[in-house]
């Protein structure tokens, strides 16, 4: 096997590949990339047995076809240390992989390509067609609400499902919830199963969707896996084997207190209250008056801080409490000029864009007890 590759293209491919590989591997082959020099292209493949990534090295030129594996971290380190624009020659000599860049040379030990784990093929049962930028926006709105609690593993990711004919994305850790809705490029199939994309795979799907921009992506769903491809990258991930809870049950209706506020003004008041040293709860009290919202935070032994902003109240004045970090993340996710906020004292706080329908996208922050 022998081929040449341009340094920047190789750097991108190896960087993507190493994101799939676990930092600590007890199985040596899982720290390697599978290198395949085809007649007209060169590809890298990496896996941790839950996620598979295949990347084509743009502009690579094959001189002799073949396949082998080599340590991904060592290859990446060598490529990264070369100058931009450098042509790197890669050649398999016996059981060693030789990389040359100018007068620099690295010789790496290899493992047989036959030892590299193959992904068990599954029949694709469902396909979803969606624009990359719309999918990226939706993922960005809900990713912050994912759980990392291992005992409730079914919350460790994003739930993707059919929501009244549109693609719904939901994440929750029990303390907050994010719901985003995407208009698919073609009608969703009638048999669309609800799937849970694992937390560890979310950044890769987000990166692919972001790079795709307005290009359409096809999400291929099989019994236990999801696969997506765009240009030179193909990503395949195992899905979470679990049942996502009925999140609609925690969305409160007919709340007593309702108001509209400038999102930046409300986020600024929350941020200022958060500047007081943490007492381990990050609790902020929000008192709703007839035309203003007063936010305050008190920490025993440290002091107190308060701020007030103008709002438009359409419900009854009331008060609630919340975790300032969760509220900040929810407001950031909405990314709009004005937000509608509603709650009943002691109940979940619902936030929507003022321009969104009541059954549309939202953020929920669970209330905290405050005095």
Q: What CATH number does the domain containing 330 carry?
A: 3.10.150.10
- Whether residues 243 and 280 share a domain: the answer is no
Residue 366 has pLDDT above 90, yes or no: yes
Are the CB atoms for 139 and 145 separated by under 8 Å?
Answer: no
Distance CA 257, CA 263 (A): 17
Encode pLDDT of 259-285 as tens digits: 999 999 999 999 999 998 676 678 999
Q: Determine, yes or no, domain membership for 370.
A: no
The closest of 138, 164, 369, 335 to 351, measured between CA atoms, is 335
User: Residues 260, 355: contact at Cβ < 8 Å?
Assistant: no
With respect to residue 15, please indicate whether it lies within any of the assigned structural domains: yes
pLDDT digits (tens, 9 = 90+) for 199-232: 999 999 999 999 999 999 999 999 999 999 999 9
* Stretch (H or E) spanning 4: strand 2-6
62 falls within a domain: yes
- Determine the pLDDT at residue 91: 98
Same domain, yes or no, for 138 and 237?
yes
* Residue 127 tokens, joined: 């396909």
- 120 lies in some domain: no
| Residue 243 and residue 257 in one domain | no
Provide the domain limits for residue 7.
2-115
pLDDT at 48 over 70: yes
Residue from 131, 125, 130 nearest 221 by CA: 125
CA 220 to chain centre: 18
> What is the per-residue pLDDT across 98-152, written as a single tens digit (0 to 9) for each?
999 999 999 999 999 999 999 888 999 999 999 999 999 999 999 999 999 999 9
- When divided into structural domains, the chain yields a total of 3
Rounded Cα–Cα distance for residues 159 and 336 (Å): 24
Same domain, 201 and 313: no
Domain match, 244 and 350 both: no
Report the alpha-carbon distance of residue 32 to residue 123 in Å, rounded.
27
Question: Is 330 inside a domain boundary?
Answer: yes
Cβ neighbours of residue 189 closer than 8 Å, sequence gap 6 or more? 126, 127, 128
pTM score, two decimals? Answer: 0.94
């Amino acid at each position: 096997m022998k081929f040449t590759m341009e340094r920047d293209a190789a750097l991108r491919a190896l960087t993507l590949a190493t994101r799939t590989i676990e930092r600590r591997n007890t199985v040596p082959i899982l720290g390697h990339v599978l290198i395949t020099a085809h007649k007209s292209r060169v590809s890298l493949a990496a896996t941790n047995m839950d996620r598979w990534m295949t990347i084509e090295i743009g502009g690579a030129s094959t001189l002799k076809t073949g396949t082998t594996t080599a340590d991904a971290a060592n290859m990446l380190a060598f490529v990264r240390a070369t100058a931009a624009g450098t042509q790197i020659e890669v050649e398999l000599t016996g059981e060693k992989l030789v990389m040359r860049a100018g007068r620099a040379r690295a010789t790496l030990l290899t493992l047989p390509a036959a030892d590299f784990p193959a992904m068990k093929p599954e029949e694709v049962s469902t396909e979803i067609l969606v624009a990359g930028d719309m999918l990226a926006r939706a993922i960005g709105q809900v990713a912050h609400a994912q759980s990392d609690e291992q005992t409730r593993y079914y919350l460790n990711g994003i739930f993707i499902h059919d929501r009244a004919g549109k693609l719904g994305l939901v994440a929750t850790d029990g303390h907050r919830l994010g719901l985003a809705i995407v208009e698919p490029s073609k009608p969703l199939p009638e048999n669309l199963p609800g799937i849970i994309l694992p937390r560890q795979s979310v950044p890769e799907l987000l990166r692919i969707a972001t790079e795709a921009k307005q290009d359409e992506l096809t999400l291929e769903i099989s019994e236990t896996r999801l696969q997506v491809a765009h240009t030179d990258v193909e990503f395949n991930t195992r899905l979470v084997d679990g049942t996502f809870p009925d999140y609609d049950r925690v969305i409160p209706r007919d709340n007593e207190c309702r108001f509209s506020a400038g999102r930046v003004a409300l986020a600024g008041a929350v941020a200022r209250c958060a500047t007081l040293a943490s007492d381990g709860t990050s609790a902020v009290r929000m008192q709703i008056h007839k035309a203003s919202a007063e936010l305050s935070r008190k920490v025993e032994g440290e002091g107190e801080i308060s701020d007030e902003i103008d709002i438009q109240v359409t419900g009854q004045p009331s008060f609630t409490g919340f975790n300032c970090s969760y509220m900040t993340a929810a407001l950031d996710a909405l990314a709009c000029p004005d937000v509608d906020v509603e709650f009943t004292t002691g109940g979940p706080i619902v936030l929507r864009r003022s321009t969104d329908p009541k059954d549309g996208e939202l953020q929920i922050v669970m209330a905290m007890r405050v005095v």
